[in-house]
Amino acid sequence: MNFSEFGFDDRLMEGIDASGYETATPVQEQVIPLILQNRDIIASAQTGTGKTAAFLLPLINKIITQAHQNHSNTALIIVPTRELAIQIAQHMEGLSYFTSVSSIAVYGGGDGNAFIQEKKALSAGADVVICTPGKMMAHIKMGYVKLDGLQYLVLDEADRMLDMGFYDDIMFIIKHLPPKRQNLLFSATMPQKIRELARKILHNPAEVNIAISKPNEKIVQEAFVVFEEQKIPLVKHLLHQKNFAMVLVFCSSKLSVKQLTRDLRKAGINAGEIHSDLEQDKREEVLMLFNSGRLPVLVATDILSRGIDIDNIDLVINYDVPHDGEDYVHRIGRTARAAAEGTAYTFISPKEQRRFAAIERLVDKTITKATVPENLGPVPQYNPAPQRKPGGGKKRFFKPGKGKGRPHGGGNRPNAN
């Protein structure tokens, strides 16, 4: 479906063309007409399906074609992280470039000047406000935020916000909004707590479900079964083997991010890092370098698993197996975006094998166990549910290339039942 078929205003179509958008994704085809029809929506869509544009485009179109109360904030988009707020604000700026729509991103971690700009915009009124819950709640408590003319509320990554403990903040904000408004709730998953939230804030919503908990079929998924101490050498090997343009590596801890980044730099690989110890301006600088292609490798904690919106990442490495299967889907969903192809590698240490098996069950796919280079030494067998045997206790391993138990692209699993 072409974007011209939605009946958007010509000024918005200029922004769509300038942004390089051509055909709508499935979630855009389903969601955009419903928003234009003033329906409340609860939508489930995996990362990378184009849901940001699915709500930004119709909101921009409604703002520029319909009468709205002057000097009030018209649309409020609430997101879990500052990174996602920044990314959506950048999307907003590009799509609305040829219109008169104003917008402001409100998030924590800024300096005094940022606070003054936010206060000024929220007091005067902006067409679209993109915010994190805690910072927006703080502004509302100070009494100058104009919300009496608000007509549109968007909760993006709602499941993530609840996981991060923002329920009370969200409900505080909603209590200060006009009861008559259009509500749009987007969530990657639909657990019971999301449906309970939806019942409280949505009115007769239309429900849209797009590929829940299933990675993009264009992502080539492979796993390497290794010991923990083999992970850093394996990252170096993979990055030296092929010239990937943009690589995103996810680690489960700040310590691992720092250590891996340091070792990659020592090996001559241009790598940057993002974690919660970095100041916000430094995070933005690193993201800008990565997005522009000047920094080919970015090592990050899960702070970026849902908070980055870059289309050209061609390799994602799970340095650690995610603790949650849904996080695996979101991590690897950073690649193969915008109809492109991508690759996702996951490193599995012995203690992570059962966790990875649970992920395979979630995505309903046996992921290929790739060959580990022989020069890295013996590797563990992949047996996530080993049988108890008498006289055990020794670490079981084998040398790559020796015997029939070698894991390879064919997916053989020694001693698997």
Question: How is 215-276 classified by DSSP, letter by letter?
Answer: --TTEEEEEEE--GGGHHHHHHHHHHHS--SSEEEE-SSHHHHHHHHHHHHHTT--EEEE-T
* More confident: 91 or 60: 60
User: Pairing relation of β-strands 342-348 and 219-225?
Assistant: parallel
pTM over 0.75: no
Q: Are residues 312 and 194 in the same domain?
A: no
**Helix, strand, coil percent content, the chain, rounded in steps of 5:** 40, 15, 45
pLDDT of residue 416: 36
Choose among 21, 26, 30, 27: nearest CA to 3: 21
pLDDT of residue 363: 80
User: What pairs with residue 315 in β-bridges?
Assistant: 247, 343
Q: Are residues 164 and 116 in the same domain?
A: yes
Q: Are residues 171 and 242 in the same domain?
A: no
Over 50: is that where the pLDDT of 202 sits? yes
Over 90: is that where the pLDDT of 35 sits? yes
Q: Are residues 199 and 283 in the same domain?
A: no
Among 63-72, 175-184, 221-230, where is mean pLDDT lowest? Answer: 63-72
* More confident: 67 or 396: 67
In a domain? residue 414: no
Residue-wise pLDDT for 339-370, tens only, equals 567 899 999 999 999 889 988 887 888 999 99
Q: Are residues 170 and 306 in the same domain?
A: no
Q: Are residues 201 and 223 in the same domain?
A: no
pLDDT of residue 135: 94
Q: Helix, strand, or coil here: 283? A: helix
Per the structure, the complete domain to which residue 375 belongs is given by 219-398
Choose among 298, 336, 339, 340: nearest CA to 319: 298
Over 90: is that where the pLDDT of 33 sits? yes
Separation between Cα atoms, residue 309 and residue 275, nearest integer Å: 17
- Residue ending a domain, choose from 156, 183, 210: 210
Q: How many CA atoms lie within 13 A of 87 on its CB side?
A: 21
Q: Are residues 201 and 133 in the same domain?
A: yes
Instruction: Please state the domain count of the chain.
Output: 2
Averaged pLDDT score across all residues of the chain: 85
In a domain? residue 412: no
Q: Are residues 46 and 186 in the same domain?
A: yes
Residue-wise pLDDT for 213-251, tens only, equals 567 778 899 999 999 999 999 999 999 988 888 999 999
